């Protein structure tokens, strides 16, 4: 019998932290900054304050131009949160009032898909509901 693929846990960008290193996660946000030379994107949460640094080097494909070339394009990313020890996130490209990505962690994407019609506020509400239901079990 074939084994099932690992489920990606829906997660809010504002809730990414070291305790989530390991399991496959699904996040959604807007591409605030994309650095093509380093294949790094900074995703912005719906609230316009929380960000995460995303390594997209393993997720680039023919459709990447749909989100990489358009500032604030909405995407869904699947991947893993990993600890990094070598660098601090760049903050010079961030608008005032936006929290820089958490130092010491980075999201390594295995898939980034454009999601133009995704309502990020609704996404976060659904994630909260899923987490609440999981806590009831």
Per-range mean pLDDT, top range of 60-69, 110-119, 125-134: 110-119
The boundaries of the domain holding residue 66 are 9-136
Closest CA to 90 of 49, 27, 42: 42
Domain count, the chain: 1
Would the pLDDT of 137 be above 60?
Answer: no
Q: Which residue has the higher pLDDT, 132 or 134?
A: 132
Would the pLDDT of 135 be above 80?
Answer: no
Q: What is the pLDDT of residue 115?
A: 94
**By the 8 A CB rule, do 111 and 75 touch?**
no
Q: Is residue 91 part of a domain?
A: yes
**By the 8 A CB rule, do 106 and 54 touch?**
yes
Residue with tokens 């997660």: 11
**What totals of helices (H) and strands (E) does the chain contain, helices first?**
2, 6
Q: What is the pLDDT of residue 12?
A: 95
Q: Is residue 49 part of a domain?
A: yes
pLDDT tens digits for range 76-91: 999 999 998 866 556 6
pLDDT tens digits for range 97-129: 787 788 889 999 999 999 999 999 999 999 999
CATH number of the domain at 71, please: 2.40.50.140
Q: Is residue 1 part of a domain?
A: no
Q: Is residue 120 part of a domain?
A: yes
Q: What is the DSSP letter of 45?
A: -
Q: Is residue 48 part of a domain?
A: yes
């Amino acid at each position: 019998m074939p084994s099932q693929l690992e489920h990606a846990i829906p997660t809010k960008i504002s809730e990414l932290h070291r305790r989530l290193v390991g399991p496959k996660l699904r996040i959604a946000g807007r591409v605030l900054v994309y650095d093509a030379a380093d294949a790094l994107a900074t995703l912005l949460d719906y609230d316009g304050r929380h960000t995460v640094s995303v390594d997209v080097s393993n997720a680039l494909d023919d459709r990447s131009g749909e989100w990489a070339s358009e500032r604030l394009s909405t995407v869904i990313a699947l991947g893993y949160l990993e600890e990094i020890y070598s660098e601090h996130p760049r903050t010079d490209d961030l608008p005032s009032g936006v929290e820089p990505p958490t130092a010491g962690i980075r999201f390594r994407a295995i898939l980034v898909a454009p999601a133009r019609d995704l309502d990020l506020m609704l996404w976060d509400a659904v994630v909260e509901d899923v987490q609440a239901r999981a806590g009831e079990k």
